[in-house]
Chain A
Amino acid sequence: MATQVFKIPESFRKNVRYSFCPGCDHGVAVRLVAECLDELGLTENAITATSIGCSVGLYDFLNVDSIEAPHGRALAVATGVKRAKPDKFVFTYQGDGDFASIGWAESMHCAFRGENLSAICINNTTYGMTGGQLGPTTLLGQVTTTSPTGRNIEYYGYPVKIAEHIALSDGTAYSARVSLDSVANIKKAKLAIKKAFEVQLKGLGFGFVEILSSCPTNWRMTPEQAHERVRDEMMQIFKLGVYKDITV
């Protein structure tokens, strides 16, 4: 008798066309979020504040009540939702530009206040939806459409290390950086997302996961090359690990 070992998560909407580019890690990340919502039984009690950029499509993919926040304001909107309805499970799913550039104040202060929220940030070192411009996490030397000769310190300064900054806040319960470049790391990423969700459920404070992700389209790479870049370049600067976990 056949046994089903792989299925579409219940938290996914049915019959949806996915808008992510081939090889993009967003698809894997959204799936992990959906699996965690399923496994923790949160889908029907969840509200998400979505962001602007490639991540905006979250409400098309997840079968979860959603409100679209202006660019960078997802965690302010999420704060409003959570304060109005403390019994709801509230989370955001944002890109690095949304979270760490235009929304840096909203993100950091959410952590400072120790809001009982969970935030997932996709770090792909570029503004993907607008065609691959330099963002807050663009690596030194990286060529983008607005750093045509590569990111240099004189013109652009340094890339932001998000998970480390979030971990510095007293209001943060959990902060980790994970990657989706291998099966082993995907498994670790799922555990981290689940942990960021669980600290909210326990009322411990802000839960955060930064996910290193590939952007083959804007990096002008094959999906395989893109994952090699995640390993060989991104993970050298953005070290994987748990930067804060008050439950251990």
Chain B
Amino acid sequence: MVVECLTGTKVLMKGNYAIANAAVLAGCQCYFGYPITPQSEIGEFMSGKMQQLGRAYVSAESELAAINMVIGAVSTGVKAMSSSSSCAISLMQEALSYATSDQLPVVLVSVMRGGPGLGNIYPSQGDYNQATIGGGNGDYNIIVLAPSNVQECIDLTYKAFYLAFKYRNPTILLADGLLGQMMEPVEFYDYPYPEIDTSSWALTGAKGRDARVIRSYAPLETDQCVYVDNLFKKYKLIEENEVEYEEYMTDDAELVVAAFGSMYRNVKSAVKICREKGLKVGAFRPITLYPFPSKRLSELADRVEKFLVTEINMGQMVRDVRLAVNGKARVLFKGKAVGAMIDVEDLVEEIEKQMGGV
């Protein structure tokens, strides 16, 4: 596949290839990875494409090494990424904590599979908490973008690189095995965002200036407090400016079904069917999982009676919805640990049950 020929034409493509192609078009100069199903196509594609373009590709010895190689590469101001899945993203948590503290524009693609532990290779959304809360140490946030179709895999890959550099903060594209493996018609286009100037911080060798140090270690208590306070000023800006979500028929909705990522696809179908049945129901999808659209959910909760959160996990995003709604409306949950989306029929049945039947 020659990337240059892709822009401006409609092609049928797998989610994993769409992400990889978008990363190349976004100007990603270095890819570091280790194979894991269901995202291995990303590394396979990158191994050939990056060499063809004279860019960097390393088959890392582990995910632990891969994400640290990304840290090294982005510290010089170039765009770099890794991709992985679930149990292997667990191995990257240390580095993600460092990267937030070091304020490095790391881009990581997480294609979720079943868990916990090794789990299996079926789709899942069980790593919502892993992405949004994380397992690294200390106070930090990672920007998390969740596509729900293959076109959005492209759109949000572009955006991941942009936001990572704009805020000098690690950014995760959170897809799942369903999106990674399914094919949909997509259209590529040129990277739409401005290039961010890195000349004030990137490591380029201390020529004609004092040496720069990218570090997370502040030996004194007060220094560390000031440092983390500044990080949180940045997070406040992100929360004020970068929230993105999708709403469907929420204007007069008495019940709003909330879902992220691939699960939203069936939610929207179920809401359409319920509307045809005369039920006042709407759908809500956070596109940015961090920053989470808490403010909008809180506004909706002023008039919505119930929220039904559906996820392919045992209830993770539902906690963020409850925090946002803060007791103003009932928050219900329907989920399953792993596998394909919950069926539309089951969702319709659940909505009807929660709305007292028709």
Could you tell me which A residues sit within 8 Å of B by CB distance?
Answer: 13, 43-47, 49-50, 56, 59, 62-70, 73, 76-85, 88-89, 105-106, 109, 113
CB of B69 closer than 8 Å to a CB of A: yes
* A105 and B62 contact, Cβ closer than 8 Å, known pairs A68-B102, A80-B30, A84-B30: yes
Q: Which residues of A contact B68 (CB under 8 A)?
A: 69-70, 73, 76-77, 80, 106
Task: Decide: B95 and A106 in contact? CB cutoff 8 A.
Answer: no
Closest-CB distance, A149 to chain B (whole angstroms): 33
Q: Across the two chains, which residue of chain A brings its CB closest to B216?
A: A68
Q: Across the two chains, which residue of chain B brings its CB closest to A77?
A: B72
A sample of 7 inter-chain contacts (CB < 8 A) reads A44-B205, A45-B205, A65-B205, A79-B58, A80-B71, A81-B203, A82-B72
Task: Decide: A47 and B213 in contact? CB cutoff 8 A.
Answer: no
Task: Decide: B212 and A76 in contact? CB cutoff 8 A.
Answer: no
CB of B204 closer than 8 Å to a CB of A: yes
Closest-CB distance, B74 to chain A (whole angstroms): 8
CB of B11 closer than 8 Å to a CB of A: no
Could you tell me which B residues sit within 8 Å of A by CB distance?
Answer: 29-30, 32, 56, 58, 60-62, 64-66, 68-76, 78, 80, 94-95, 98, 102, 203-208, 210-217
Known: A77-B71, A82-B72, A83-B69. 7 other contacts (CB 8 A): A47-B76, A50-B215, A68-B217, A73-B68, A79-B69, A85-B76, A106-B65
* A67 and B75 contact, Cβ closer than 8 Å, known pairs A77-B69, A80-B30: yes
Closest-CB distance, A238 to chain B (whole angstroms): 26
Complex Cα–Cα for A45 and B209 (A)? 12
Kindly list the 4 A-B residue pairs having the minimum CB-CB distance in the complex, ordered from nearest. A80-B72, A76-B68, A80-B69, A77-B72
Closest-CB distance, B90 to chain A (whole angstroms): 15
Complex Cα–Cα for A88 and B78 (A)? 14
Closest-CB distance, B258 to chain A (whole angstroms): 36
Q: Across the two chains, which residue of chain A brings its CB closest to B32?
A: A80
Q: Across the two chains, which residue of chain B brings its CB closest to A65?
A: B203
Q: Which residues of B contact A109 (CB under 8 A)?
A: 60-61, 65
Complex Cα–Cα for A13 and B213 (A)? 12
Task: Decide: A106 and B206 in contact? CB cutoff 8 A.
Answer: no
Closest-CB distance, B68 to chain A (whole angstroms): 4
Task: Decide: B213 and A83 in contact? CB cutoff 8 A.
Answer: no
Task: Decide: B214 and A81 in contact? CB cutoff 8 A.
Answer: no
Closest-CB distance, A201 to chain B (whole angstroms): 14
Q: Which residues of B contact A73 (CB under 8 A)?
A: 64-65, 68, 71, 95
Q: Which residues of A contact B204 (CB under 8 A)?
A: 47, 65, 85, 88
Q: Which residues of A contact B205 (CB under 8 A)?
A: 44-47, 65, 88-89
Task: Decide: A56 and B217 in contact? CB cutoff 8 A.
Answer: yes
Complex Cα–Cα for A68 and B94 (A)? 13
Complex Cα–Cα for A49 and B60 (A)? 17
Residue in B76, B207, B215, B216 whose beta carbon sits within 8 Å of that of A45 in the complex: B207
Q: Which residues of A contact B98 (CB under 8 A)?
A: 68, 70
Residue in B29, B60, B64, B75 whose beta carbon sits within 8 Å of that of A81 in the complex: B75
Task: Decide: A84 and B95 in contact? CB cutoff 8 A.
Answer: no
Task: Decide: B207 and A66 in contact? CB cutoff 8 A.
Answer: no
Task: Decide: A67 and B214 in contact? CB cutoff 8 A.
Answer: yes
Closest-CB distance, A69 to chain B (whole angstroms): 7
Q: Which residues of B contact A70 (CB under 8 A)?
A: 68, 94-95, 98
Q: Which residues of B contact A59 (CB under 8 A)?
A: 211, 213, 215
Q: Which residues of B contact A80 (CB under 8 A)?
A: 30, 32, 68-75, 80
